[in-house]
Each structure stands twice: as structure tokens, then as C-alpha cells.
Homo-oligomer: A and B are copies of this chain.
Amino acid sequence: MLNFTFQNPTHIHFGEGQISVLAKEVPLKARVLLVYGGGSIKANGVYQQVIDALSEHTYFEFSGIEPNPTYDTLMKAQDIIKRENIDYILAVGGGSVVDGAKFIAAAALYEGSSEGNDPWDILAKQQAVTKALPIGAVLTLPATGSESNGNSVVTRDGNKLPFSSPLVRPLFAVLDPNVTLSLSDRQISNGVVDAFIHTIEQYLTYSVNGKVQDRFSEGLLQTLIEEGPKALDPATKENLEVRANIMWSATMALNGLIGAGVPQDWSTHMIGHELTGAFGIDHARTLSIVLPAVMKVRKEQKREKLLQYASRVWQITEGDEDTRIDQAIRLTEEFFQQMQVPTRLSDVNLGSKDIDLLIERLEQHGMTALGEKSDITLAISREILTKAL
């Protein structure tokens, strides 16, 4: 096991009816900015539950945060923050809304640096976040884990970049599986696949004998493999236990715990971000395209963990090593297909002619040494994308 530090102070409120805790969790004195997306929370009743819980609070609203939230949209929130002296951000939505809230919270108190005072520098020039407004979250779409971590991804002019700070980790998160019943199949499948690949990126590297971390990751993968398809099947999709297990898996997949003390790959995400930035493909759908190709191209480097994955997650025990690994990769692809997400660039109408642009963007964003050993060069990323054709 590697040395690590780990802390996750986000207060989780899990279960049906928990949105009412907002009344207590958000300080009564706060001047709250309620941020949300396109208004689906009005259709599914979540907005009303939030408003009811905040009946004694002073709050304002900022809506319109889009999937893969953009700098341009998020910066529009700064006006109301200044005008109304907002001192608390309440994010109500999925990972994009929570990610957006984090940028809004950091931008509001960004003091600039020798590089200038554009908050975009937090992402583009990795300038440190030294202050941020406090954030609370009501999660409506289990997927990114953003509700209890300090990570955020923001897009500007086709450039999709991450930043991270403990100062933007939500103080609390409300997870009511009931609110996920109104999600579309596409949202559910994207969320399950996103959480699955978050887990894989912290697991499928090389062994450091982190037995607890490995088994926790395997437990999340198995749970998502079992429960994901049930959330798409008309016979079981309304089952709240299915939704609860998916929701808790997605939070645990990226709250820092399973990645503490073990190597991490994030190459699938970094390559995937370019697919979203350049072609607007849903985040999870870029991952389901890239991951199988990463597994194939990095088979030697990941051999030991691929064999463990085959055995413990897929119960594959027959055949020689290569056969077992190939079967595990095939079952992973079949799981993605069952979850109705693409597994090839051709599935989203992209071809070899599009790879140059993606490699160019990776280079431009400094993504020239990816993976758990920083040895995935641009040439290897090209190989991965070619394998994904």
C-alpha cells in the first residue's frame, strides 16, 4: 500500500425524504444562491421539496447550468452573487450542476495571481483556490461523485479542464434515491457507466497489495454490474432499492476512499474529455469508448490487475491468462452495451480522420504522460484511439 492522507468530511444524508434536512443544514443566516440546470427539478418535484425546506431562508436562484458546464454560463452567476451578497451556494442537480457550483464558489472569491485575475486560470494555469463560498448539494443524478469530493470539470471553447480543491467539497450532500426515478434511461446508463469507470481508474493499475481498497473497488464494480441493468429494465426500474444501491455506489466510487493508498490511472478520463470537448459526446459515452481500448493496449502493464479483475469481478477462472483477460474485456464491453452506451468511435460516427484533432488537443492540454506510471505518451494515446475505432 502507498502512503496516503485521506479526509472526507462531507455530511451525507441518504434516503427517501431527506431533502427536508436542508432546513437545518443550510445556516438560517445564509444568503443562499440555489443553482440548478435546465429545470427538470421543477418537473420532478425536487425543486418544490427544496423550496419547502428553505421556507425560512433567504435565497436567490441561478439556473441554466448545462451538461459539461461552461465557463461562460457559470461566470454569469457572479453578477447576482455580488449584487445580493451571496455567501452560500446550494447545488441541486447532477454532477454538472455540482461541478458548476464549485467553479462558481471558487470564482466568487478568486483574488487572481501574477497571471491575472480571470478565474479560468484556476483550470488553465492550475492557480490555487485559496478561498471559496461554502457549498451544499442535493444530488439528482448518481454518477460523478461530485457531491462529496473536491473535483470539478469546466469547459471553455471546447477545452474541458479539471480542477480540484478541498475548499469546494460540499459540506453536506442529500442523496434521495427516490428523485432518480424520473431520470431518463440515458441519464441512468451514463451515471452507472461513469461510476463504473471511476472505480476502474482507481483499481486497474498495478498491485500494491492494498487488499481493502481492491475489495472495496471490486464490491462497487459487482454492484454496478448487477444493479445497472435493473435500472433500465421496465420490470425493475422503479425499484427503489436498485436506485439506492446505484446511488451509494456512485458516491463511494469517487469520494477519495477507494483511491487512497493505491496508484491511479486517469487516462480514460483525460482522453474522454477531449472527445466531449471536440465532439460534444456525453462524458460517460466517451469513457465506454475509450476504456476497452485502454485495457487492450495496456494489457501487459495491467496484466496482474486484469487477471484479478477477471477472477474476482467476473468469476472467470478457466483458460490461460490471455484468454481470461480477453474474456474480462469482452464482458466489460457487453456490460456497456447492455447499459446502452457505445463502445467504439464508429458507434458515435467518428473515424480515423478525427484522431488527429484529439491528439492535438491532448498535447495542447499537457496530457502527454497519462496513466498510473505517466508512460502513456501521445503515440500510445493514438494507439488507444485507433484501437477504439
Residue positions of A touching B, CB distance < 8 A? 1-18, 21, 209-212, 215-216, 218-220, 222-223, 226-227, 241, 244-245, 248-249, 252, 257, 260-261
Measured between beta carbons, the chain B residues less than 8 angstroms from A245 are 1, 209-212
B215 touches A14 (CB 8 A): no
A245, B209: Cα distance in complex, Å = 8
Measured between beta carbons, the chain B residues less than 8 angstroms from A241 are 1, 209
**Chain B residue, CB-CB nearest to A247:** B1
Measured between beta carbons, the chain B residues less than 8 angstroms from A5 are 11-14, 21
A283, B361: Cα distance in complex, Å = 60
A1 touches B219 (CB 8 A): no
A11 touches B3 (CB 8 A): no
**Chain B residue, CB-CB nearest to A174:** B5
A15, B226: Cα distance in complex, Å = 35
Q: A15-B1, A260-B14 are in contact. Are A215 and B223 (CB under 8 A)?
A: yes
A6, B8: Cα distance in complex, Å = 11
What is the total number of copies of this protein in its complex? 2
Measured between beta carbons, the chain B residues less than 8 angstroms from A257 are 257
**Chain B residue, CB-CB nearest to A240:** B1
Cross-interface CB contact of A226 among B2, B211, B222, B261, cutoff 8 Å: B211
A11 touches B1 (CB 8 A): no
Q: A211-B227, A222-B215 are in contact. Are A14 and B9 (CB under 8 A)?
A: no
**Chain B residue, CB-CB nearest to A15:** B3
A216, B221: Cα distance in complex, Å = 12
- Supply 12 A–B pairs (Cβ within 8 Å), ascending by A: A1-B241, A1-B248, A2-B15, A3-B14, A3-B17, A7-B12, A210-B248, A211-B227, A215-B218, A216-B216, A216-B219, A257-B257
A14, B4: Cα distance in complex, Å = 5
CB distance from A135 to the nearest CB of B (A): 15
B215 touches A219 (CB 8 A): yes
B14 touches A7 (CB 8 A): no
A212, B223: Cα distance in complex, Å = 7
Measured between beta carbons, the chain B residues less than 8 angstroms from A16 are 3
**Chain B residue, CB-CB nearest to A171:** B7
Cross-interface CB contact of A11 among B7, B10, B13, B222, cutoff 8 Å: B7
A6 touches B14 (CB 8 A): yes
A17, B261: Cα distance in complex, Å = 14
Besides A1-B241, A6-B11, 4 new A-B residue pairs in contact (Cβ under 8 A), listed by A number: A4-B14, A210-B248, A211-B219, A215-B223
Cross-interface CB contact of A4 among B4, B15, B226, cutoff 8 Å: B15
A18 touches B1 (CB 8 A): no
Measured between beta carbons, the chain B residues less than 8 angstroms from A6 are 11-12, 14
Measured between beta carbons, the chain B residues less than 8 angstroms from A209 are 241, 245
CB distance from A213 to the nearest CB of B (A): 8
Measured between beta carbons, the chain B residues less than 8 angstroms from A216 are 215-216, 219
Measured between beta carbons, the chain B residues less than 8 angstroms from A15 are 1-4, 261
Measured between beta carbons, the chain B residues less than 8 angstroms from A9 are 7-9
